[in-house]
Homo-oligomer: A and B are copies of this chain.
Amino acid sequence: MAVPRSAPRSPSPQRPDELPPTAWAVLGLLSFPGERTGYELKKWADASLRFFYWSPAISQIYAELRRLEGLGYATSRRSGPEEPRTKRTYSITEAGRAALAGWAGGAEDVGPPVLKHPLLLRVWLGHLAEPDELRARVREHIARTRGELAQVREALARADGVEAWSHPQIALGWSARRLEAEIGLAEAMLDDLAGLTAPSSPTENTAPAAPSQPLEDSPTHG
């Protein structure tokens, strides 16, 4: 179990486990064969991690790498014989692999997925917007999503056939199907929005009651 070689450049004395998911994500990036720089990690995160778990800012990746190194979960070395000397290459340690396996294989609840969908926020406030404008935003979203779908399929093609990539492949496959569903959802919403402006049965404007406060059983996990 390789001990941390180079002096930990980050003094934060963090207890093992109890790391935020982002730290595990970065360590996970490191857990696949090969060693890589923070910069490479960022590109990789942009190309696949972000489709199911968001891509941290490059500065945060560097910070996480320092934390991971401080914990002995990763080691870094400055450049190879061929490489530019300014380059710092990270790899996972045995301790890191063990800790990551503990997190990935554990039964503790990692919490529900969190979705932040600014478009839906706008639709939700649609009574304040021009119907046409709103639908234009939805169509833009569909176009963007199609672009992302193409990217996922590329990433999928790149991973195809490589034995060690089977799980990332499943995650990417899930992402592709998810984006397909997202497109269908947006198209259905387009119809809903169209139905609002051209209503078949023009409902009488019944005095809108105050928003009677909702149910009592909703779990407070915000």
Contacts and interface: CB of A to CB of B under 8 A. Distances in A.
Interface of A: 21, 24-25, 28, 31-34, 36, 40, 42-58, 97, 100-101, 104-105, 107, 109-130, 133-134, 136-137, 140, 144, 148, 151, 154-155, 158, 161-168, 170-171, 173-175, 177-178, 181-182, 184-185, 188-189, 192-193, 196, 203, 205-206, 208-215, 217-220, 222
Contacts of A115: 51-54, 113-116
Given A166-B127, A167-B125, A177-B185, A40 B213 contact: yes
Contact of A218 (B31, B47, B167): B47
Nearest to A33: B208
Nearest to A97: B128
A128 B101 contact: yes
A215 B116 contact: no
Q: Is the interface of A mostly helix, strand, loop or mixed?
A: helix
A218 B43 contact: yes
Given A31-B125, A34-B211, 15 more contacts: A21-B116, A24-B125, A28-B125, A43-B218, A44-B213, A52-B120, A101-B129, A107-B137, A112-B144, A151-B215, A155-B214, A163-B205, A163-B208, A170-B192, A174-B189
Contact of A167 (B24, B113, B124): B124
A128 B222 contact: no
A127 B49 CA distance: 16
Given A144-B112, A170-B123, A196-B166, A21 B118 contact: yes
A50 B105 contact: no
A210 B33 contact: yes
Contacts of A144: 112
